[in-house]
């Protein structure tokens, strides 16, 4: 069973065709679960971005912001859908945040993303009937957070992690796994077991691996 995850990661859309969205919207644990639950999102990871200090960490973040980075298949979910979910899920103005660590922040990584952000910002301002103060800027780097901050909610279930040990003999493998992203969302209340079972049925992997992932999901004890 230890080959399932490596095979899954290899056969899902190649990273060359994926797009990336990077943003901050408060504490990064919940967004990691929320966006990791979305069909079409292949990988998520938490980290630090937007600041000038070198090698930020959770304890010494400097002027960086807690952010998540989402790799997604644009053939299944568009950047605009990611951004609408981002703005729908938090109040994007500065008086909602006490420090830079938690500000509303989103980066663009292409001209198409920049234009989409301009359009969607105007759309959100019309909905709110006030200016949107989200910091919008070109992408300038991302530092991955410590392992304990990756798939945080899933890691709160040691019994399930023990059952997943055959798939993830090293806990660091959870960070870039699509299956782990979905499980992290599921335990936080995003999506359902049935939805995930159905989605696995659509993943472009061999039938034997699909059957094994479904079996793992059905047998997990939380």
Which residue segments constitute the domains of the chain, with CATH numbers given? 16-147 (3.30.1060.10), 149-219 (no CATH)
Instruction: Find the mean pLDDT for residues 140-149.
Output: 97
Query: Known catalytic residue: 27?
Result: yes
Three-state SS string over the chain comes to: CCHHHHHHHHHCCCHHHCEEEEEEECCCHHHHHHHHCCCCEEEEEEEEECCCCCCCCCCCCCCCEEEEEEEECCCCCCHHHHHHHHHHCCCCCHHHCCCHHHCEEEEECCHHHHHHHHHHHHHHHHHHCCCCCCEEEECCCCEECCHHHCCCCHHHCHHHHHHHHHCCCCHHHHCCCHHHHHHHHHHHCCCCHHHHHHHHCCCCCCHHHHHHHHHHHHHCCC
* pTM exceeds 0.85: yes
Residue-wise pLDDT for 182-220, tens only, equals 999 999 999 899 999 999 998 888 888 889 899 999 999
When pLDDT is averaged across residues 8-30 and rounded to a whole number, the result is 80
In the structure, what pLDDT confidence band is assigned to residue 17 with cuts at 50, 70 and 90?
A: confident
- Which of 27, 136, 171, 173 is an active site residue? 27
């Amino acid at each position: 069973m230890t080959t399932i995850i490596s095979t899954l990661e290899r056969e899902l859309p190649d990273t060359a065709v994926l797009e990336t969205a990077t943003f901050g919207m408060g504490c990064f644990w919940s967004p990691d679960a929320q966006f990791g639950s979305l069909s079409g999102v292949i990988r998520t990871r938490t980290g630090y971005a937007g600041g000038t200090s070198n090698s930020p960490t959770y304890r010494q973040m400097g002027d960086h912001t807690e952010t998540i980075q989402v790799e997604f298949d644009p053939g299944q979910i568009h950047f605009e859908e990611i951004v609408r979910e981002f703005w729908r899920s938090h109040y994007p103005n500065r008086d909602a945040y006490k420090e830079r660590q938690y500000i509303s922040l989103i980066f663009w990584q292409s001209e198409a993303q920049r234009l989409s952000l301009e359009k969607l910002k105007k759309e959100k301002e019309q909905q709110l009937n006030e200016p949107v103060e989200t910091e919008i800027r070109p992408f300038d780097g991302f530092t991955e957070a410590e392992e304990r901050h990756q798939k945080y909610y899933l890691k709160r279930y040691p019994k399930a992690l023990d059952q997943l040990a055959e798939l993830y003999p090293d806990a660091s493998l959870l960070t870039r796994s699509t299956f782990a992203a979905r499980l992290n969302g599921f335990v936080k209340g995003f999506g359902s077991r049935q939805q995930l079972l159905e989605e696995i049925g659509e993943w472009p992997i061999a039938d034997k691996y699909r059957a094994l992932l479904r079996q793992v999901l059905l047998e997990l004890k939380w």
